[in-house]
Structure 1
């Protein structure tokens, strides 16, 4: 009898891991990129997710549907660890004496610069959300997981996913209104931790529209 994909994964069949990589790597990369805003870091998250999946393969239940929620749950944990490591790195760098900045004159493709700008603006808008709300928003709106799959990925009840997503949408609408009011006044948007100044209304509206 042919083994199921989950059974093959549990048994450590490399062909099974090749299948799930082909099927889910792009979606995981998109999830990590939107969360981190860094192309190289997103690639690292995908690699670490599959390394963790290999390490944790014995804990995967043999019965069940798609392994997508399982993979996204691992990715969510990797991203949490990445965020903690980044905070420790920033704290360590802040303790170092300042060095003279060296300008970077590297030419970049215009399309990539535009993508980076839009992505940075979206991440600034999401910075006002709690971590749980950001995770649910990223999984359900950006990565297309349904409530049940997101609940499985995060290890929380479906009702929690629904309530967090509802709060995320409400707070993003409020942020959009705040940004619009600031622009109408001709003032810089109010500062938030980890944010840079600029007109963020179009990006926030774009995010809100995706979650509608």
Structure 2
């Protein structure tokens, strides 16, 4: 992104801002999707991000460099607002594939992962990370920001970004390993339990007949 374009955006040039949108709209959307876990919310976050960017264009530093950290910093705050009070942050990722291939994410955050089951486990446990951990992973891993740019986006020191990213990677590995261990235990139990006779019903028949959504809500 040239300094000339930055200056044009600061001056309120609609064509320059359109170029900015074309350059970073998908980046902002992908980032918002990973923080909210919902495509419609991500679209709202993306729209609000560029609206705020246009409104705050005069505050741009003319010599700051890339506009990507600036936009993702706005998106971070918008995603936080969208998630506040829902209690279901990123639960959507446990039920749907990621927008982009997960291999790149898994390689950076959980080491070299080749097993498809492990990749699925990473997606399922990602929503259990702390908000700050998800944000730093989304910025540094998915969005490709360096430590200084991520620090700018989050409004924190570079050292904080480094420590958060290290903790997030370590915690994600632990959660993924535990998820896989639990799944292996469940599979082992399923294979060793005797099959029921034809027509035999369990004591949980009534509960099993409930819609999946009711079961999910009842178990919370």
What is the TM-score when the length of structure 1 is the normalising length? 0.69
* Aligned residue number for residue 96 of structure 1: none
* Aligned residue number for residue 134 of structure 1: 134
Contact persistence 2:3–2:63 (CA under 8 A)? no
CA–CA separation in structure 2 for the residues paired with 1:166 and 1:20: 32
Q: CA deviation at 1:116?
A: 5.6
Contact persistence 2:121–2:176 (CA under 8 A)? no
Instruction: Sort the Cα spacing of 1:150 and 1:74 in 2 relative to 1 into closer, same or farther, 3 A.
Output: same
Q: Is 1:117 aligned with 2:91?
A: no
CA–CA separation in structure 1 for the residues paired with 2:143 and 2:3: 29
CA–CA separation in structure 2 for the residues paired with 1:63 and 1:3: 7
* Aligned residue number for residue 150 of structure 1: 150
* Aligned residue number for residue 81 of structure 2: 81
Contact persistence 1:10–1:58 (CA under 8 A)? yes
* Aligned residue number for residue 179 of structure 2: 179
RMSD: 2.7
Structure 1: segments with no counterpart, 5+ residues: 91-113, 188-195, 197-212
CA–CA separation in structure 1 for the residues paired with 2:94 and 2:43: 17
Instruction: Sort the Cα spacing of 1:30 and 1:52 in 2 relative to 1 into closer, same or farther, 3 A.
Output: same
Q: What's the secondary structure of 2:84's corresponding residue? A: helix
Higher relative contact order (CA 8 A, sep 6+): 1
Q: CA deviation at 1:128?
A: 2.2
The count of aligned residue pairs is: 163
* Aligned residue number for residue 22 of structure 1: 22
* Aligned residue number for residue 97 of structure 1: none
What is the TM-score when the length of structure 2 is the normalising length? 0.67
Q: CA deviation at 1:20?
A: 0.7
- Over alpha carbons, which structure has the higher Rg? 2
Task: Name segments (4+ residues, structure 1) moved above 3 Å.
Answer: 119-124
Instruction: Sort the Cα spacing of 1:150 and 1:19 in 2 relative to 1 into closer, same or farther, 3 A.
Output: same
Contact persistence 1:10–1:57 (CA under 8 A)? yes
CA–CA separation in structure 1 for the residues paired with 2:123 and 2:46: 19
CA–CA separation in structure 2 for the residues paired with 1:21 and 1:153: 18
CA–CA separation in structure 2 for the residues paired with 1:159 and 1:115: 31
Instruction: Sort the Cα spacing of 1:170 and 1:127 in 2 relative to 1 into closer, same or farther, 3 A.
Output: same
Q: CA deviation at 1:85?
A: 6.0
Structure 2: segments with no counterpart, 5+ residues: 99-119, 188-215
1:31-56, CA deviations, whole angstroms, 9 ceiling, x for partnerless residues? Answer: 11122222222111111100010111
Contact persistence 2:125–2:172 (CA under 8 A)? yes
